C-alpha cells in the first residue's frame, strides 16, 4: 500500500472534506424537505380529521332523527303554503333539526323542523338583503 504525504495528502483530504460537506448539505436539504412534507401532511390530516368528525356528527344526527327529510319538507310546505326547494340537516344543533328552504310567488323562507317530533319550530322570511328575519312557528 502506498502512503501519501505532503501536497498530495492535503489535496486528497480537501477533496474528502468537500465531498462530505456536500453530502451533509444534501442530507440536510432532504431532511428539511421531508419535514416540510410531513408538516404539510399533518395539516392535511388535520383538515381531513375535521371533515371526518363533522361527517360523523352529521351521521349521528341523521341516525337519531325520527323524522325523514321528506316528512320535514311536507311539514314546511303545510306550514307555509310554499314548495320545498331544499332540505338539509342543520349541523349546528345539538339535536336533529331539518332546515327546509321553501319558495314560491317571489317569496323565499327557511323553515326549521324538529327532527324528533316533526314539529315546525320556526319560519324565517328572506328579506331580499341576504339576511333573514324570523318568527317562531308557535
The total number of residues shown for the chain amounts to: 138
Pick the CATH number of 66-136 from 1.25.40, 3.10.450, 3.30.460, 2.40.50: 3.10.450
Q: Is the pLDDT of residue 122 over 50?
A: yes
pLDDT score for 88: 95
Which stretch of DSSP H or E encloses residue 102? strand 97-104
Q: Any idea of the CA torsion for 61, 64, 70, 74, to the nearest 10 degrees?
A: -100
Note the pTM of the prediction, 2 decimals.
Answer: 0.57
Residue 109 CB partners (closer than 8 Å, separation 6+):
80, 82, 101, 102, 103, 123, 124, 125, 126
The residues, ordered by sequence, that sit 6+ positions from 89 with a Cβ below 8 Å of its Cβ are 58, 61, 62, 65, 69, 96, 97, 98, 99, 115
Question: What residue segments make up the domains of the chain, in order of their start?
Answer: 1-64, 66-136
What was the pLDDT predicted at 57? 83
Over 80: is that where the pLDDT of 2 sits?
no
pLDDT-derived band at 42, boundaries 50, 70, 90: low
pLDDT for residue 4? 52
Q: What is the per-residue pLDDT across 72-89, written as a single tens digit (0 to 9) for each? A: 999 999 999 999 999 999
123 by Cβ neighbours in 10 Å (0-12 / 13-18 / 19+) ranks as buried
pLDDT at position 35 over 60: no
How far is residue 48's CA from residue 119's CA, in Å, rounded to a whole number? 35
Overall average pLDDT of the 104-127 stretch: 92
Amino acid at each position: 500500500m502506498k502512503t501519501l504525504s505532503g501536497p498530495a495528502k492535503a489535496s486528497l483530504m480537501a477533496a474528502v472534506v468537500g465531498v462530505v460537506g456536500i453530502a451533509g448539505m444534501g442530507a440536510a436539504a432532504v431532511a428539511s424537505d421531508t419535514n416540510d412534507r410531513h408538516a404539510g401532511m399533518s395539516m392535511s390530516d388535520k383538515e381531513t380529521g375535521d371533515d371526518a368528525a363533522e361527517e360523523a356528527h352529521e351521521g349521528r344526527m341523521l341516525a337519531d332523527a325520527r323524522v325523514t327529510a321528506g316528512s320535514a319538507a311536507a311539514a314546511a310546505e303545510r306550514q307555509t303554503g310554499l314548495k320545498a326547494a331544499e332540505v338539509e340537516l342543520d349541523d349546528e344543533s345539538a339535536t336533529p333539526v331539518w332546515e327546509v328552504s321553501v319558495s314560491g310567488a317571489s317569496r323565499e323562507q327557511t323553515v326549521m323542523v324538529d327532527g324528533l317530533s316533526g314539529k315546525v319550530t320556526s319560519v324565517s322570511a328572506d328579506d331580499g338583503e341576504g339576511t333573514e328575519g324570523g318568527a317562531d312557528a308557535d
